[in-house]
């Protein structure tokens, strides 16, 4: 049985909250406004069409790709938009692999000159890359460059936002980008819209995100998503510490790589015991469903 929620606004870092605000055609202006804060001026967009991720990929396994939003601009650019809760094995490999799907989707039958529209992966990360922990910069744009650091190909970009690095208070917000980051991180903490966030776009967001406007079914779905998000954070925090410690200890005898893998399996065991969904465990650990079933 669901219990009344105390927060006024939805948490955008839950699957339900992220997709409710950014993932529907009716709310496309919110996604467009957010994307235009991180896209280069030449690829700013005015409208998008939401597409089904299940239509991508050449194989059944490919078509099970898990990402939050896939859409296309009126000028042809493709966008994969994800909210990533925790760091996982081979995260960068996964981002690159998924980016190949909207590239391959553009292939035309018959005669085709291989001209492509731009593909962007935009990731809102609720974690910090290990190699960036000592850096202040939280927005990272990655593209293909040659040995002279000159852009080799400008139609494939990965944009990552390390949200934990954002520490500004509402009184310190300077840019539109700051305002979006503040809402991504602090929306459920607000009792009412702060003065710096009262404009047309954010007024729409506050209306869409107000839990009182949800149907009873939507409120139940949100509570389930919120519980999953909180459980995942708690289990991962504990499991990374305990599992990796165990794995590294064993690694003295087995070798570091084997020990770390055992730590990952230990974390998966704890997540499974806590009732975390298999898809979430796969995302976090990089293990296959068969490996998780065997634990």
Domain assignments of the chain as residue spans, ordered by start = 15-214, 218-293
Contacts with 34 (C-beta within 8 Å, 6 or more apart), sequence order:
22, 180
Q: Which residue has the higher pLDDT, 266 or 196?
A: 196
Between the CA atoms of 260, 264, 269 and 272, what dihedral angle is there, to the nearest 10 degrees?
Answer: 180
Nearest to 182 by CA among 81, 173, 206: 173
- 271 φ, ψ to 5°? -65, -40
pLDDT tens sequence across 269-287: 877 877 777 877 777 777 8
Distances (CA, A) of 163 to 18, 67, 111: 14, 18, 44
Confidence of residue 42 (pLDDT cuts 50, 70, 90): confident
**Would you say 258 and 241 are in contact if contact means Cβ atoms under 8 Å apart?**
no
Supply the pLDDT for residue 53: 60
Three-state DSSP class for 4?
coil
pLDDT for residue 59 is more than 50? no
- 151 φ, ψ to 5°? -65, 120
**pTM: predicted TM-score of the whole model, two decimal places:** 0.77
Which whole number is the average pLDDT over 191-196? 93
CA angle 158, 159, 162 (to 5 degrees): 130
Supply the pLDDT for residue 37: 96
């Amino acid at each position: 049985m669901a219990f009344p929620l105390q927060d006024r606004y939805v948490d955008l870092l839950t699957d339900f909250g992220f997709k409710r605000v950014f993932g529907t055609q009716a709310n496309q202006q919110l996604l467009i406004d957010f994307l235009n804060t991180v896209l280069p001026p030449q690829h700013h967009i005015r409208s998008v069409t939401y597409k089904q991720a299940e239509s991508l990929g050449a194989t059944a396994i490919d078509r099970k790709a898990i990402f939050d939003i896939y859409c296309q601009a009126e000028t042809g650019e493709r966008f994969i938009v994800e909210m990533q809760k925790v760091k996982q094995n081979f995260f960068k490999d996964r981002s690159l692999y998924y980016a190949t799907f909207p590239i391959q989707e553009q292939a035309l039958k018959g005669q085709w000159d291989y001209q492509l529209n731009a593909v962007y992966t935009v990731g809102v990360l609720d974690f910090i890359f290990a190699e960036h922990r000592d850096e202040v910069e939280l927005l990272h744009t990655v593209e293909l460059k040659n040995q002279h650091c000159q852009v080799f190909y400008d139609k494939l970009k990965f944009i990552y936002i390390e949200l934990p690095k954002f520490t500004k208070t509402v009184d310190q917000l300077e840019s539109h980008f700051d305002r979006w980051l503040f809402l991504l991180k602090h929306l459920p903490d607000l009792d009412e819209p702060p003065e710096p966030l009262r404009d047309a776009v954010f007024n729409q967001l506050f209306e869409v995100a107000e839990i009182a406007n949800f149907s009873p079914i939507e409120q139940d779905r949100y509570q389930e998503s919120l519980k999953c998000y909180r459980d995942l954070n708690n289990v991962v925090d504990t499991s990374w510490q305990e599992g990796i410690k165990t794995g590294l200890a064993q690694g003295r005898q087995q070798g570091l790589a084997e020990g770390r893998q055992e730590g990952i399996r230990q974390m998966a065991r704890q997540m499974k015991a806590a009732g975390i969904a298999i898809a979430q465990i796969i995302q976090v650990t990089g293990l296959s469903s068969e490996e998780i079933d065997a634990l």
